Amino acid sequence: MSAQCASNIHTTCAYCGVGCGITAEVVDVDTRQVKIKGQSDHPANFGRLCSKGTALAETLGAENRLLHPLVDGQQVSWESALDQVAQRFMAVIDEHGPDAVAFYLSGQLLTEDYYVANKLMKGFIGTANVDTNSRLCMSSSVVGHKRAFGTDTVPGNYEDLEQADLVILTGSNTAWCHPIVFQRIKAAKKLRPEMKVVVIDPRRTATCEIADLYLPVKPGTDAFLFNGLLSYLSRLGSIDYEYLERHTEGFGSAIKAANETAGDIVTVALKCGLKEAEVATLFDWFRRTEKSVSVYSQGINQSSSGSDKVNAIINCHLATGRIGKPGMGPFSLTGQPNAMGGREVGGLANQLAAHMDFEPEDIERVSRFWNAPNIAQKAGLKAVDLFEAVAEGRIKAVWIMGTNPAVSLPNANRVAQALSRCATVIVSDCIHHTDTAEYANILLPALGWGEKDGTVTNSERRISRQRALLPPMGEARPDWWALCEVGRRMGYKEGFNFQSSHEIFIEHAALSGFENSPDDRLRDFNIAALSDISPQQYDQLQPFQWPLYKQETTGTSRLFADGQYFTSNRKARLLPIIPSLPKGELSEEYPLSLNTGRIRDQWHTMTRTGLAPQLNQHIAEPFCEIHPDDAAAINVEQDSLIRISSSYGKMLARAQITDTQQPGQLFVPMHWTGQLSSAGRMGPLINPVTDPFSGQPESKHTPVKAEAFAANWHGFVFSRKPLEVEGIAYWVKIRGRQFYRYELAGDAAIENFSHWSRKLLLSGVPHEEWQEYSDPSAGKYRAAAFVDGKLTGCLFIAPDSQLPERSWLASMFDAENLTDKDRLSLLAGIPMNQAANTGKTVCACFGVGENTIRNTIQQQQLNSVEAIGKCLNAGTNCGSCIPELQALLDAQ
């Protein structure tokens, strides 16, 4: 496809598993200007996009892109880098065998990249030491699905969420993490107000905006709740025995376990920390509502008993026959854009390919198909164990692709240590400086979104194309290409001759249909209909849902409608679930439970969303949500700094005191890294305990303590160029439109404000004009630097966190020349121009600030979210800020 001249290219969003279709218009190839809008006829989003998708165009520039291959920090040719990778792998394998090498992959790779990586490692190198960040994400769901259905199948689709009369959202902050699915549910509820939504989450999140019932469940106790539900259904005679008899097995032991562990509502309420009436309402609604869906995500999966929680949920749907039909079923919301594609190619260490396993007949079949006699014979190491093997030197070479384990794995300092000790760490990334890349011996530049070309699968099994809009930046190349080049260099000439993503895709499609005829339906994943499509057909591939059997033209919107599962007797299985509590025990030393997760406008380790100024304004710093009682107990005030420590590591975050958080629990975002903060990485604190079946870490619960961080001073700096802030106890770097902003705090007194500030702000920049205001006795200092009358930087220091608003200062960087009045107001720390004092961004899509919204509500006497939208546009694109708009209305 000639990306350069094509206008209006259809592609798929880079971020979450909703898989929204995007229509992109390339305005200017040279300056990489692209216009993004939602694809109006894409079945996942029908034209909608959330703040992150909307801001994709802001992430396509050169900032922090990895442009060339690097070996030991030196730029080298691709040839030489690939030779090095192949040689190092071969040397390790020669001496220590294939299990001494590993790949660590990602649900953000395209299916084509993933397929080749898996084929190379499992098929040809002959080890299954290939795991992926999906281990931290969906692996408990995979186990749950396979145990219940015989396959890793998500039965339903997004329409089911709209058609349901009861939508249970458990362990899912849908409003922020799957915003377009949330908007779809919200719109459906508006049309049918009788539709009920239940949110189950220890924190009262933005998702509660649409909740008819909110259950602040005690962390980790969901299996008690769903066991209790099963038991209740059976007591009230609401079990579908006919369905159970014809299509399932295991109900007897499942109900026995449920009765024994969560017998009645009183017990359930006690175990789950809920009120009896709340539990009774949920149970009653579920019992009476045929069209019920149970949607879940990381609050269920990321647990030392995540797999069991998944089966506790599925049990309730099987016992009522509420699965495979419109508006009902269990629904695992996948996280990453290609979490599902990764599972299809067998990216996890205990899968093979095309939904096959390490069973003798599967191994034999795949080996024949690939012509790979050396194929791995057993499952490999799962992520946490894999990095432990790196730490212990059992794995001597690891290739990390599309993920940032130095941040996102539990006990992340141990992971960093493992990488620093490992002789060969290869990192493929589109971004140059990441916490993981710091440990790389070999860095390989990957294509970024907008350059990549291939397929991804969303939460509802829908395969869509990601298409290239722009030429690769620098020497970036596709991940599949680098993998094939290494494979060929290692002597596997036959299997890795792919010239395009199309060639890989059709092989993948052929494998899915290999000895898997539509009549036998041995495996759920089957897209054999596409195994001989032409490059043009591949280019034009329209979104469809698998399976898509040979000779068929439309995909499958829903599975299991016929009650036929993929187990040997075609029956689904209910499992006896004995619920267990999170593994880390709270103690006197570590009395609080640390929960972690996501915020609305950032994506994971912020390597890309952190580049988009408009996404950095809603929440600019790592924070810690803490209940008022807990904050009072440690003498912490709103916006002051907290140090959180576990027995593994520690971090600093800004206190957000809120009663949306329960006493005894803290919440921190997973996003901040060592690139963007001195101490905002949360990975080092996380307990590396995992689920025994899935190997998924318990990222939602670690025993910790919290203390006030006694800062000697607080401050912030704006600068047009990046600054050297190492050595300052607390710093956070925030990308703005014309500047970088640093939030700062120090534990040691600053001897000479003026000297210190000049060193920080002026080093390496000549010909500055410098103005300052100083009140040393009050601990206050302000300064500004100019070149030719233009503001180049400014700095504010105070003894506490009561510092001026940042938004109006940001606006000064847009001006060519500051007036005397501006300068005065700057040094006084008081905005003259109130209109520029917009406040913290609430609506990221239109960049509308809190002060602006407050003032407009007051001046125009607005009384609804719609009215705010009419005046300011806020809330009219993705709608994710509507709960905050409502809160501002309520406050006035």
Binding site for ligand SF4 (CB under 6 A): 13, 15-16, 18-20, 45, 49-50, 52-53, 179-180
Per-residue H/E/C for 402-441: CCCHHHHCCCHHHHHHHHHHCCEEEEEECECCCCCHHHCC
Which stretch, 152-160, 217-225, 271-279, 727-735, contacts ligand MGD (CB under 6 A)? 217-225
SS3 for 77?
A: coil
Residue 13 binds which of ligand MGD, ligand SF4, Mo ion, none (CB < 5-8 A, kind-dependent): ligand SF4
* Residue type for position 36: I
Site track 163-182 with ligand MGD (rule: CB under 6 A), x = hit:
-------xxxx--xx-----
Q: Which of 335, 674, 688, 703 binds Mo ion (CB under 5 A)?
A: 335
- 241 Cβ neighbours under 8 A, 6+ residues apart: none
> Considering the complex, what minimum distance in angstroms separates the CB of residue 594 from ligand MGD?
9
> Considering the complex, what minimum distance in angstroms separates the CB of residue 59 from ligand MGD?
10
Q: Which of 605, 614, 757, 851 binds ligand MGD (CB under 6 A)?
A: 605
Residue 45 binds which of ligand MGD, Mo ion, ligand SF4, none (CB < 5-8 A, kind-dependent): ligand SF4
Q: Which of 22, 26, 128, 137 binds Mo ion (CB under 5 A)?
A: 137
> Considering the complex, what minimum distance in angstroms separates the CB of residue 128 from ligand MGD?
20
Which stretch, 139-147, 600-608, 645-653, 828-836, contacts ligand MGD (CB under 6 A)? 600-608
> Considering the complex, what minimum distance in angstroms separates the CB of residue 335 from ligand SF4?
10
- Per DSSP, the residues of 351-381 read B-STT-BS-HHHHHHHHHHHT-TT---S---
CA–CA separation, 631 and 352 (whole Å):
49
Closest CB to ligand SF4 among residues 341, 793: 341
Site track 86-125 with ligand MGD (rule: CB under 6 A), x = hit:
--------------------x-xx----------------
Is 222 near ligand MGD (CB under 6 A)? yes
The two three-digit tokens of residue 501, written as one number = 């993503």
CA–CA separation, 461 and 458 (whole Å):
6
CA–CA separation, 829 and 773 (whole Å):
10
CA–CA separation, 622 and 29 (whole Å):
35
Residue 180 binds which of ligand MGD, ligand SF4, Mo ion, none (CB < 5-8 A, kind-dependent): ligand SF4
Closest CB to ligand SF4 among residues 158, 730: 158
Closest CB to ligand SF4 among residues 13, 416: 13
Residue 596 binds which of ligand MGD, Mo ion, ligand SF4, none (CB < 5-8 A, kind-dependent): ligand MGD
The two three-digit tokens of residue 235, written as one number = 């007591």
Q: What share of the chain is helix, strand, coil (3-state, %, to 5)?
A: 35, 20, 45
Residue 478 binds which of Mo ion, ligand SF4, ligand MGD, none (CB < 5-8 A, kind-dependent): none
CA–CA separation, 300 and 140 (whole Å):
8
Closest CB to ligand MGD among residues 571, 608: 608
Q: Peptide bond preceding 684: is omega within 30 degrees of 0, i.e. cis? A: no
Burial class, 654, CB count within 10 angstroms (exposed 0-12 / middle 13-18 / buried 19+)? buried
Is the CB of residue 389 less than 8 Å from the CB of residue 381?
yes
* Residue type for position 90: M
> Considering the complex, what minimum distance in angstroms separates the CB of residue 415 from ligand SF4?
26
Residues 666-725 touching Mo ion, rule: CB under 5 A, are none
Is 201 near ligand MGD (CB under 6 A)? yes
Is the CB of residue 435 less than 8 Å from the CB of residue 605?
yes
SS3 for 112?
A: helix
Closest CB to ligand SF4 among residues 130, 430: 430
Is 618 near ligand MGD (CB under 6 A)? no
Residues 3-22 touching ligand MGD, rule: CB under 6 A, are 16
Residues 434-493 touching ligand MGD, rule: CB under 6 A, are 434, 446, 452, 479
Full strand arrangement of the beta sheet holding 780-787: 730-735, 740-746, 713-719, 790-798, 780-787, 769-775
- Per DSSP, the residues of 798-832 read ESSS----SHHHHHHTT-SS--HHHHHHHHHT--S
Q: Which of 38, 299, 736, 849 binds ligand MGD (CB under 6 A)?
A: 299
Closest CB to Mo ion among residues 93, 137: 137
Q: With CB under 5 A, what is the number of residues at the site for Mo ion?
A: 2
Is 687 near ligand MGD (CB under 6 A)? no
CA–CA separation, 730 and 708 (whole Å):
13
Taking phi over 0 as left and psi of -120 to 50 as alpha, with beta for the rest, 193 belongs to: alpha
CA angle 94, 96, 98 (to 5 degrees): 75
> Considering the complex, what minimum distance in angstroms separates the CB of residue 405 from ligand MGD?
6
Is 831 near ligand MGD (CB under 6 A)? no
> Considering the complex, what minimum distance in angstroms separates the CB of residue 720 from ligand MGD?
25
For 94, list phi and psi in degrees, rounded to 5: -55, -45
> Considering the complex, what minimum distance in angstroms separates the CB of residue 205 from ligand SF4?
16
The distance from CA 809 to its chain's CA centroid, rounded to whole angstroms, is 32
> Considering the complex, what minimum distance in angstroms separates the CB of residue 21 from ligand SF4?
9
Residue written as token pair 């499609």: 509
CA–CA separation, 170 and 299 (whole Å):
7
Closest CB to ligand SF4 among residues 187, 728: 187
Closest CB to ligand SF4 among residues 404, 424: 404
For residue 485, give Cα distances in angstroms to 71, 120, 374, 498.
17, 11, 19, 10
CA angle 12, 15, 18 (to 5 degrees): 70
Shortest-Cβ-distance residue relative to Mo ion: 335
CA–CA separation, 743 and 804 (whole Å):
12
Closest CB to ligand SF4 among residues 16, 101: 16
Is the CB of residue 354 less than 8 Å from the CB of residue 523?
yes
> Considering the complex, what minimum distance in angstroms separates the CB of residue 52 from ligand MGD?
6
Q: With CB under 6 A, what is the number of residues at the site for ligand MGD?
A: 59
**DSSP character for 542?**
P
> Considering the complex, what minimum distance in angstroms separates the CB of residue 766 from ligand MGD?
35
Partners of 667 in the beta sheet?
A: 595, 625
Is 336 near ligand MGD (CB under 6 A)? yes
**Interface contacts to ligand MGD, rule CB under 6 A:** 16, 106, 108-109, 133, 136-137, 170-173, 176-177, 200-203, 205, 217, 219-220, 222, 297-299, 302, 335-336, 401-405, 407-408, 428-431, 434, 446, 452, 479, 595-598, 600, 602-605, 607-608, 670, 682, 686, 699-700
**Interface contacts to Mo ion, rule CB under 5 A:** 137, 335
